[in-house]
C-alpha cells in the first residue's frame, strides 16, 4: 500500500517502473503472507507441543513413532549409543539427551536422574565420545526446586567420577533465573558443568557476561520457545543480530564455547570472526541437532572444525519433535508425507 501511495497515477514512460514496482508489491505482500502463515503455524505447533493428551496419543502410535526417528535417535540408550558411535566415526562428538521435561511427580524425576547417572558408565563402557545434556524440569524443578537441585548434583557428581561433562539445557524464560542460579551454585564446586544462553532473550547479554566471567562453558542458541515481546526479540533479524553479537563475545572471552545453530549465516559469521581474531578452530565447537543439516555437519568437519551433535532419545519425544517442526514449518510437510507413506505401507 505504501508503494502505491507514493506512485500516484502512472505516466506512459513510467510503465516499466510501475510494472517493476507492482511486482515488488506482489512479492512483498506474498512474502508477508508467507511469514504470517509461518507464524500462525509456529504458534499452533507450540500450543500442540504442550497438549498432554496428544502427547500420549502420538507417543504410543507406531506410525508416529517411526516418523519421529528422523529427529530422535531411538527409544533406548542402547540405540542412542549406536547413533553416537556412527557420529564419532564421522569425526564428530555428541551430547546425549534422554528426552523428558516438565515432569509432575517425584518418581519420574528420580527415574530421569538415575538414567542420567547411569549414562556416564554406559558412555564409558561403549567407548564413545559423548557428554550429556539435561533439562531441570525433567529433574523435578516444577515439583520442588531443592529436590531438583539434589538430583542435578547427583548427575554432575557422577559425570565427575567418569571425567565427563553435563550441559544444563535452557528451557522457557520462566525457568532462566532458576537455571542460572542452580548452575552458579554447582559451578562453584564442579567445573564439569555448562549452561545454555538464548540469543532471543533481551537479558542474555548480561547473563552471558556473568557466566563468561565465572569461566564457564556456554552453548549459545537462538532459543526454541515461543516468548512474549516483554522478554524476547520477536523478529528473526533481531535474534540473528544478537546471536552474532553474543557469539563474538563468547569467542573472544569464553572457555571452549559452543556455537549451536544450523544457520549458515551465523556459522560463517563465527568462522570469519574467529579467523580475524586469530582464534584457532580448536578453541570452540559448532553444535547441531541430530538429523538436521547433515550436509553442513560434514562440511564443517571437512574444514577442520569441531562439531558436536545433540542426540535426543527416549520415548518422551513428542514436545521435542513439535519444537523442531515449529522451527521449520516445512518439517510438518516432511512428517505428514512420511505419515501418509507409513499408513499406506501398513494398509498393504
Ligand X SMILES: Cc1cc2nc3c(=O)[nH]c(=O)nc-3n(C[C@H](O)[C@H](O)[C@H](O)COP(=O)(O)OP(=O)(O)OC[C@H]3O[C@@H](n4cnc5c(N)ncnc54)[C@H](O)[C@@H]3O)c2cc1C
CB 72 to ligand X: min, Å: 12
Using the minimum distance from each CB to ligand X, give the nearer residue, 66 or 93.
Answer: 93
169 is catalytic: yes
Cβ proximity to ligand X, 12 vs 229, nearer residue: 229
Residues that bind ligand X in the complex, under the rule CB under 6 A: 169-170, 196, 198, 221-225, 260-263, 287-289, 292-293, 310, 324, 327-328, 331
In 3D space, the residue among 164, 74, 82, 72 whose CA is nearest the CA of residue 116 turns out to be 164
Bridge-based pairing of strands 258-260 and 218-221 is parallel
In whole angstroms, give the CA distance from residue 191 to residue 135.
18
* Nearest to ligand X of 113, 172 (CB atom): 172
Nearest to 67 by CA among 348, 330, 290, 321: 321
Rounded to a whole number of angstroms, the minimum distance from the CB of residue 345 to ligand X is 24
Residue 152 sits at φ, ψ, to 5 deg, of: -60, -40
**Longest pairwise C-alpha distance within the chain:** 80
C-alpha separations of 234 from 32, 92, 225, 246 in Å: 15, 33, 11, 17
Residue number, 25 or 296, with CB nearest to ligand X: 296
Question: By C-beta, is 151 or 200 nearer to ligand X?
Answer: 200
Query: 9 or 291: whose CB is closer to ligand X?
Result: 291
Q: Which of 183, 259, 171 is nearest to 219 (CA)?
A: 259
Distance between CA atoms of 339 and 348, rounded to whole angstroms?
Answer: 14
Q: How many CB atoms lie within 10 A of CB 314?
A: 23
Report, in Å, the least distance between residue 346 CB and ligand X: 26
Nearest distance from C-beta of residue 327 to ligand X, angstroms: 4
CB of 246 to ligand X, least distance (A): 12
97: annotated active-site residue: no
Let me know: does 191 contact 217? Beta carbons within 8 Å.
no
Specify which residues 219 forms β-bridges with: 196, 258
- Catalytic choice (167, 217, 219, 324): 219
Least distance in Å: CB of 13 to ligand X?
A: 41
CB 168 within 8 A of CB 137: no
Shortest Å distance, C-beta 292 to ligand X: 5
User: From the CB of residue 344, how many other CB atoms can be counted at a distance below 10 Å?
Assistant: 9
All three cell numbers of 307, joined, read 562439531
Catalytic residue, candidates 169, 207, 240, 324: 169
Bridge partners of 196, per DSSP, are: 219
Residues 6 or more apart whose Cβ sits within 8 Å of residue 71: 289, 290, 291, 292, 312, 317, 320, 321, 324
Q: Cα separations (Å) of 183 from 116, 180, 280, 309, 344?
A: 17, 5, 28, 22, 48
Query: Cβ closer to ligand X: 113 or 198?
Result: 198
Other CB atoms within 10 Å distance of the CB of residue 46: 18
Active site residues: 169, 219
Amino acid at each position: 500500500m505504501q508503494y502505491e501511495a507514493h506512485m500516484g497515477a502512472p505516466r506512459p514512460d513510467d510503465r516499466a517502473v510501475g510494472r517493476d514496482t507492482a511486482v515488488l508489491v506482489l512479492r512483498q505482500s506474498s512474502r508477508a503472507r508467507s511469514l504470517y502463515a509461518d507464524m500462525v503455524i509456529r504458534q499452533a505447533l507450540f500450543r500442540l507441543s504442550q497438549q498432554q493428551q496428544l502427547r500420549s496419543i502420538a507417543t504410543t502410535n507406531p506410525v508416529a513413532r517411526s516418523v519421529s526417528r528422523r529427529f530422535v535417535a531411538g527409544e533406548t540408550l542402547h540405540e542412542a549409543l549406536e547413533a553416537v558411535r556412527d557420529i564419532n566415526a564421522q569425526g564428530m562428538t555428541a551430547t546425549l539427551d534422554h528426552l523428558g521435561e516438565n515432569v509432575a511427580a517425584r518418581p519420574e524425576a528420580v527415574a530421569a536422574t538415575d538414567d542420567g547417572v547411569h549414562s556416564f558408565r554406559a558412555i564409558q563402557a561403549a567407548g564413545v565420545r559423548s557428554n550429556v545434556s539435561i533439562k531441570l524440569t525433567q529433574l523435578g524443578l516444577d515439583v520442588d526446586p531443592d529436590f531438583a537441585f539434589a538430583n542435578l548434583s547427583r548427575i554432575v557428581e557422577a559425570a565427575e567420577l567418569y571425567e565427563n561433562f553435563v550441559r544444563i539445557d535452557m528451557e522457557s524464560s520462566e525457568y532462566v533465573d532458576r537455571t542460572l542460579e542452580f548452575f552458579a551454585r554447582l559451578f562453584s564446586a564442579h567445573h564439569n558443568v555448562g549452561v545454555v544462553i538464548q540469543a532471543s532473550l533481551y537479558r542474555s547479554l548480561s547473563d552471558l557476561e556473568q557466566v563468561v566471567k565465572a569461566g564457564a562453558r556456554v552453548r549459545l542458541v537462538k532459543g526454541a520457545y515461543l516468548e512474549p515481546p516483554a522478554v524476547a526479540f520477536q523478529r528473526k533479524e533481531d535474534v540473528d543480530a544478537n546471536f552474532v553479537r553474543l557469539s563474538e563475545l563468547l569467542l573472544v572471552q569464553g572457555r571452549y564455547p559452543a556455537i549451536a545453530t544450523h544457520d549458515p549465516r551465523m556459522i560463517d559469521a563465527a568462522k570469519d570472526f574467529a579467523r580475524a581474531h586469530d582464534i584457532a578452530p580448536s578453541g570452540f565447537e559448532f553444535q547441531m541437532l541430530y538429523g538436521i543439516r547433515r550436509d553442513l555437519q560434514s562440511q564443517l568437519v571437512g574444514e577442520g572444525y569441531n562439531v558436536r551433535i545433540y542426540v535426543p532419545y527416549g520415548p518422551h519425544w513428542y514436545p521435542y519433535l513439535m519444537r523442531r517442526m515449529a522451527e521449520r514449518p516445512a518439517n510438518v510437510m516432511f512428517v505428514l508425507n512420511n505419515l501418509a507413506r507409513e499408513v499406506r505401507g501398513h494398509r498393504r
